[in-house]
Amino acid sequence: MEEIIVFGNGNISKILSTYLKKKFNIIAYASKKKFIKSKKFNNRPIYSLEELKKKFSPKKYKIITAIGYLEMNNIRKKIFESLKSEGYNFVNYIDNSAQVPNDVMIRENNILLDNVSINPGSKIGNGNIIWSNSVISHNVRLNNFNWVSSGTVISGDTSIGNCNFFGSNSIISNNSSIANSIFVGAGALVTGKIRNESTIINSTSKKIEIKSLDFLKYLKNEQ
């Protein structure tokens, strides 16, 4: 098994590590120093971002980021860019049950969980997390740092930008154009062109005039 480092020490990291251990030997975790409360996480040593390069050479070790959709996925994006600038490369995790044709192009640092289906002709960028039982249909372009929740369907010939959130069982109709930093709620049906930072919470609502990042902050306060 290939040895990797997982960046992230929250609940999402614990959940995703259960999958990652199927294909990789996780030798350590990493996080920002202010979030590290002990010397170990998930029974492995954990190091700060500042310590990482001293302990693990970018020439030998690869990384995967196991971070949620905080700040509309921008935290995961910033960590990726920071580590990339230090010379690190990243692995993909594609579950054995996922259906991915040979012509699908997938870049770095993606996580595709159980029973994900990617149809022919699609392109997947960097840093996307695609949760269980989601469908990415034919000729979809899914750019970078998107979060696709369980049961989401992104229909054919659709273009998806960066740092979007798709709630469970949401549906994006074919030939749609989804820009950047858009929050789509669970069960919502979305069609056509959607502009940056839009918020759509269910299939019967019109677009809410509140930026997606502000809406996430509101949700956090309500929890």
Is domain 93-222 classified as CATH 2.160.10.10? Answer: yes
Instruction: Tell the burial category of 80 from Cβ atoms under 10 Å away from its Cβ (0-12, 13-18, 19+).
Output: buried
Backbone angles phi and psi of 72, in degrees to 5: 55, 45
Work out the pLDDT band at 223, boundaries 50, 70, 90.
Answer: very low
Backbone angles phi and psi of 96, in degrees to 5: -60, -25
Backbone angles phi and psi of 3, in degrees to 5: -85, 130
Domain at 2-66, CATH homologous superfamily: NAD(P)-binding Rossmann-like Domain (3.40.50.720)
Instruction: Tell the burial category of 147 from Cβ atoms under 10 Å away from its Cβ (0-12, 13-18, 19+).
Output: buried
Q: What is the pLDDT of residues 90-144, one digit of tens each?
A: 999 999 999 999 999 999 999 999 999 999 999 999 999 999 999 999 999 999 9
Q: Delimit the domains of the chain by residue range.
A: 2-66, 93-222
